[in-house]
Amino acid sequence: MNQLFDQLKTQPTATVRAQIRACAYAGHTAGLGKNMLQANLAILPASHALDFMRYCQRNPKPCPLVGVSDTGNPRMTTLGHDIDIRTDIPAYYVYRDGMRAETVTDITGLWQDDFVAFALGCSFTFEHALEAAGIPVWHVENNTTVPMFASDIPTVPAGPFGGATVVSMRAIPDARVDEVIEISKRFPMAHGAPLHVGDAAEIGIADINAPDWGDPAPVPSGTTPMFWACGVTPQVAIMRARLPICITHKPGAMLITDVADDAETTILTA
């Protein structure tokens, strides 16, 4: 898998998605499809799609909506030239009645005529911009998963969707905090500016060394912990809604789109 990953790193998005579609690659997508927007996935029955769209609209920082399929249509035409959402994600989680039931690499057999697929922006986009500005991000340099925490910041509910905002933490050199705020603010479709900067306890995080998801990351002296709204938030909202069935990507294994990650909108034109 690692050898294939190294080969895919230099390939265009169509080649990467072809390998994923063939189930030849089922790993994480950080560093693949360079400079292209990557997205979180949520697939729900149409009966809950309007409420879920409202939930995304009301919580644009954790849930920046970058694409929505037609009901029953697995093609995401505004995000790419040939995206089939049933096959083009490396790995999927299937939830039944709010509980994670299966992990699969293809959902063709599970697809329903009433399914609606939602793609939501992810933090890879602004992490690329931080890298480009020469700002070190520990979990990227150490090849671990960013630490994520359930905060006490509530989301704005819609129908059965609600709950706490999940945040991801990056410890940034004190002198570069303002610059990092400005850079991330430029990417509203990738969580935007941080929700909180500084003391973790102020947003209900008891132990910064014990993340609820992902791996711990140090906060050395001379750095400030910065907290961004995180794409795990809608996954928690979906589990909480206890839908009979819903499907998400496996965290880290994202949809790679054909939209440039610095495009003005996430809608592919021509």
Where on the chain is the footprint of its own copies (CB under 8 A)?
Answer: 46, 49-50, 53-54, 57-61, 65, 67-68, 70-71, 78, 116, 156, 158-159, 185, 188, 192-193, 264-267
CB atoms closer than 10 angstroms to residue 225: 20
**Alpha-carbon distance values, 40 to 35, 91, 117, 251 (Å):** 16, 12, 10, 8
Cβ-based nearer residue to its own copies, 19 or 257: 257
Q: Rounded to the nearest whole angstrom, what is the least distance from the CB of residue 94 to its own copies in the complex?
A: 23
Q: Rounded to the nearest whole angstrom, what is the least distance from the CB of residue 110 to its own copies in the complex?
A: 21
Nearest Cα neighbor of 252 from 3, 29, 11, 24 is 29
Cβ-based nearer residue to its own copies, 192 or 251: 192
The answer for residues whose C-beta is within 8 angstroms of residue 261's C-beta and 6 or more apart is 35, 36, 37, 38, 124, 125, 128, 187, 190
Q: Rounded to the nearest whole angstrom, what is the least distance from the CB of residue 157 to its own copies in the complex?
A: 10
The answer for residues whose C-beta is within 8 angstroms of residue 67's C-beta and 6 or more apart is 39, 76, 78, 79, 117, 118, 119, 257, 266
Nearest Cα neighbor of 71 from 21, 109, 39, 118 is 118
Cβ-based nearer residue to its own copies, 67 or 214: 67
Q: Rounded to the nearest whole angstrom, what is the least distance from the CB of residue 77 to its own copies in the complex?
A: 8
Q: Rounded to the nearest whole angstrom, what is the least distance from the CB of residue 204 to its own copies in the complex?
A: 16
Cβ-based nearer residue to its own copies, 53 or 200: 53
Cβ-based nearer residue to its own copies, 59 or 168: 59
